[in-house]
Structure 1
């Protein structure tokens, strides 16, 4: 609960029993839709435990989640809670993952964890380099990359089956983001391996890969500073605020890590999850084949229905407050559950149904798959572009593709707070 060492039994919210659900409970790991859905219907705010066992409040309903995401009374960095001078609870995760102390700043100091006044400064500097127009202009390049990997898929088949995640979704997303940032093509395999190690949350792998990532990024910054080009890293080096402030080298390294690792992982799994969803819902796939103009709305619906990110980052209350009538004490940790919000029947008609016509052009974004408020996903525009291009090109190259085996046999990784496949085995032709 609070950073001031309150115990669960001392809090009077009373949403559930003191122990409450644990993010590592099998019911939440293997069936987050049903598990968090049951919590949502139990109460709008439920007391439970985070991955490392520390107390946390689960906020589960759409309106409450969306409101909390933009509520300035919550911060992402616990030390920014007034009057709290204790240990940072996130350090428990760093200990669990055995991240060396001198490297923790690269994980704990990113824009994802920053708060005002640092966050607006970082966001302005990055937005100038990561402008929407720049991303929209990437569409032809994304399509060319997709064409190349899809054309190579038959060479990857074994017994008539290809792994779409391994040989299309991942290569597409890592190639796009690395080209955008300015990471040499020769290093793409290395970055993909590093990303897998980071996501695995296995200390032995992270201990090996993370120092190499940091060293690589610092060296790349020095190389680019000596010879600026037209890539995103060069733009980040050039970018400065109105008062002349720039990104420090540590901030730039954390930005590279955030954009490359978070960007390619989420995009790859949006493509993987989305493809599996369409192939197990032939009526929706037929609609998309018949009318490709539905693609932008389809990507939004897939992000709602099977997006790869199920929870927001932990947020901390800077004062005593209430969420849906539940008292939250200053310093309490709050876990905003995106997956239960995106299936909230109070907000959606028939939320369990996949409906690619649900999100109409011109309407405001009607889900929280990309977050909301000041921490709305920096790479949302790029993820949408990749998704639209990937699904369009898949249908163009392999209109008769099908899952190799029943949909229930999909191989998923039981990771807390995320929804991702280990593989996606596809038959390209009947």
Structure 2
């Protein structure tokens, strides 16, 4: 029997995601990896990943289906990702119950009603950028990609203005994969303190925001189907983390792709491609989430290549690798191409199956609105540094840049 291949250790700092994607492809549809000291099966082939994401044999409930949960939950830097009690980690009927309570906040009419708000926020941010002198460098991630999702999610959740200070920092900590277990635990405590203050504020003065809707569901639903206090807090945590950092990275990566592919930007400007095409191809090539921890095998799962994911073993959805699998896109899998055509969905950036992201329409609305307005307002925008100088966010989970320096207008 051949020796089991050595574990691929995923880089906590995410220094070279392209090399990591190639390494995963070379190891087959699924391979065992080390994610900050925990062994998991990284699934990088899209057909297999879709099958597992929609299979009842795969759970997100670590307490119920991961024998290592008690051991890991107090010492693993990513413990929060498997210990929260919300629909992100729920399985079967529990997941359906929690998703039913959250789904109304993302109903199509509610998302559509946010269009004017998003447009106004984008316009205000661009007005601020307009004061930049010709030839001056500005960090577009800091000045545009970051504040838009923060303002949108704050509006959506009803976060009072006086509670927004420090909001970004604690959410950034959720996605950081270079923290010690102690630092991660301290960040989690700070985040819960923010959420507790938000709940208290909205319970005292309810509105039409998502927090008020969830509090009403908690207080009025009654019976076993109601949100517990812990589920309420953790559901808000999910909404914050899923609706903020991911959209920052989407805007960041879309702008970067267009500025480094002028031929593709020309397609948009001449009407041969749309801003929605930019968003979808960005989600395929540079999804906001590279790897999403974790899922667990409920029973033994045979794989097409003869391997078996044993019951209780952890599974890592490696979206970035699956989206760029050569079996789907051939030699051009790593190319940004707005004319790309293929049957079926082009990417798994928002997941698949029962846990498909409820916030996907809102993320698309924000990104399309931001890109359309940015390139209309600043048609001469250009990168201020070579692409080789764009540093990745130090995380094995998220897929963005530390900074995005651009010049909005050429020097006079």
TM-score by length of 2: 0.90
State the distance in 2 between where 1:278 and 1:98 align: 33
Between the aligned partners of 2:357 and 2:78, the Cα distance in structure 1 is 28
Equivalent pair of 2:246/2:398 in contact (CA under 8 Å): no
Contact 1:289-1:395 within 8 A present in 2 as well: no
Structure-2 separation of matches of 1:261 and 1:237: 19
2:303 corresponding residue in structure 1: 323
C-alpha displacement at 1:34, in angstroms?
3.1
The alpha-carbon deviation at position 66 of structure 1 amounts to 1.1
Structure 2: gaps of 5 or more residues: none
Q: Provide the C-alpha distance between the structure 2 equivalents of 1:314 and 1:237, rounded to a whole number of angstroms.
A: 28
**Alpha-carbon spacing, 1:106–1:308, altered in 2? closer, same or farther (3 Å):** closer
The 8 Å contact of residues 272 and 424 in structure 1, kept in 2 or not, is answered as yes
Rounded Cα–Cα distance in structure 2 between residues aligned with 1:159 and 1:187: 36
Deviation sequence 1:98-131 (CA, Å, 0-9, x none): 98xxxx6995323211112211100000002221
- Give CA deviations for 1:289-334 in whole Å, capped at 9, x if unaligned: 2228611222111111111211232211111121223212111212
Deviations along 1:173-198, one digit per CA (max 9) or x if unpaired, are 10001101110133333211222233
Residues 150-170 of structure 1, C-alpha deviations (whole Å, 9 max, x = no match): 111244679700000001111
| Separation (CA, whole Å) in 2 of partners of 1:338 and 1:291 | 30
1:227 CA drift (Å): 2.8
- Whole-Å Cα distance in 1 between the matches of residues 384 and 259 of structure 2? 11
1:312·1:371 contact (CA, 8 Å) conserved in 2? no
Q: Deviations over 1:261-310 (max 9, x none)?
A: 23110001110111111100111111112228611222111111111211
For residues 339-358 of structure 1, the aligned pairs below 5 Å read 339-349=320-330, 350-358=332-340
Rounded Cα–Cα distance in structure 1 between residues aligned with 2:72 and 2:225: 33
The TM-score normalised by the length of structure 1 is 0.86
Give the corresponding residue for 2:25: 40
Contact 2:10 2:34 in 1 (8 A): yes
| 1:128-162 per-position Cα deviation (integer Å, ceiling 9, x unaligned) | 22212211221121111011111112446797000
**How far 1:241 sits from its partner (Å)?**
6.1
Give distance in 2, aligned partners of 1:214 and 1:16: 42
In 1, Cα distance between equivalents of 2:81 and 2:52: 26
The reply to whether residue 95 of structure 1 matches residue 71 of structure 2 is no
Higher mean displacement: 415-424 or 199-208:
199-208
Distance 1:422 1:157, change over 3 A: farther
CA-based RMSD of the aligned residues comes to: 2.7
Q: Name 1:3's counterpart in structure 2.
A: none
Q: Which residue of 1 aligns with 2:271?
A: 291
Instruction: Find the counterpart in structure 2 of residue 223 from structure 1.
Output: 201
Give aligned pairs, total. 404
Aligned position for 2:282: 302
Counterpart position of 2:261: 281
User: Please, which runs of 5 or more residues in structure 1 have no aligned partner?
Assistant: 1-11
Indicate conservation of the 8 Å contact 1:298/1:359, yes or no.
no
Q: Structure 1 21/98 Cα, relative in aligned 2: closer, same or farther at 3 Å?
A: closer
